[in-house]
Amino acid sequence: MEERLQKILAAAGIASRREAEKIITAGRVRVNGKIVTELGSKYDPSSVKISVDGNPIKAETKVYYMFYKPRGVVTTMSDPQNRRSIADFVQDLGERVFPVGRLDYNTEGLLLLTNDGALAQALMHPSHEVNKTYLVKVPGIVPQEKLDMLRVGVKLDDGMTAPAVVNLRSYEHEHNFTLFDITIHEGRNRQVRRMCDAIGYPVRDLKRVKMGPITLSNIGRGKFRELTDGELAALMKAAKL
């Protein structure tokens, strides 16, 4: 199957797609021995020989990891403010990976890491409505009518949210907090936090525990592990690949 040259380079782990475009326009890429500088050029990587700076590229082995992101870590591979990022945890992995979606700085929990751009794009596409479940802790005893507002949908500054699935875990009367989980399929910025703000109960602690069919399990905070064959198959099915 033919693909854009910059996508082929990115899939081979040469650089990000944006950086690959710069490499191409700089005249550093040859296809079957001929320099190619057109960004729109398409090729079947299995039927041509592509090199960068004279070095042949080879297809990158696809890898899939579950990562337990701690609080106080940004979901990027670098940070201009020198905060801890995902890269600090995977620098010895040996393979290029990137996170599927984001968790905000103060949210912990499940992140998927991969170098499979097609899977990542499919999982994040709004039409696929891949569910994400969070464990939420808020101060105060939240009445059922407030939780029902989340179940129906609440109005945010960027519009109404879709109905969420909300399950009450417990009321802690002695320490005055409520624990519940919420499942959404939208991907708005800081959505769960803003939804809780909208009902008058700001989040104290937030943890993503599930993404699609994948549940955070058998892993410590700040650690990662490869997905099992069963987990990967279920993820591919959820992504409709």
* Pair (218, 119) in one structural domain: yes
217 in the same domain as 205? no
Specify whether 141 is located in the same domain as 188: yes
Confidence at residue 1, expressed as pLDDT on a 0 to 100 scale: 67
User: Under DSSP, is residue 149 helix (H, G, I), strand (E, B) or coil?
Assistant: helix
Q: Does residue 218 share a domain with residue 118?
A: yes
pLDDT at position 124 is: 85
Tabulate helix, strand, coil % of the chain (nearest 5): 25, 30, 45
CATH of residue 7's domain is 3.10.290.10
Same domain, 225 and 108: yes
- 28 lies in the same domain as 47: yes
- What is the per-residue pLDDT for 53? 94
Specify the CATH number for the domain of residue 200. Answer: 3.30.70.1560
Mean pLDDT of the chain: 92
Q: Is there a catalytic annotation at residue 104?
A: yes
Structurally, the chain folds into a number of domains equal to: 3
46 and 163 fall within a common domain: no
CA separation for the pair 48, 98 (Å, rounded): 27
Per-residue pLDDT tens for 174-223? 999 999 999 999 989 999 999 999 999 999 999 999 999 999 999 999 99
Residue 76: CATH number of its domain: 3.30.70.580
Q: What is the dihedral of CA 61, 77, 70, 201, to 10 degrees?
A: -120
Say what the pLDDT of residue 209 is: 98
Do 137 and 205 lie in a common domain? yes
Cα angle: 136, vertex 184, 195; to 5 degrees: 55
146 and 29 together in one domain: no
- List of the chain residues with pLDDT < 50: none
Same domain, 191 and 135: yes
Distance, in Å, from the CA atom of 224 to the CA atom of 93, rounded to the nearest integer, reads: 10
Residue 185 belongs to what domain range? 131-211
In the set 79, 88, 104, 181, the catalytic residue is 104
> Could you tell me if 117 and 152 lie in one domain?
no
33 and 90 in a single domain? The answer is: no
> How many whole angstroms separate alpha carbon 41 and alpha carbon 124?
27
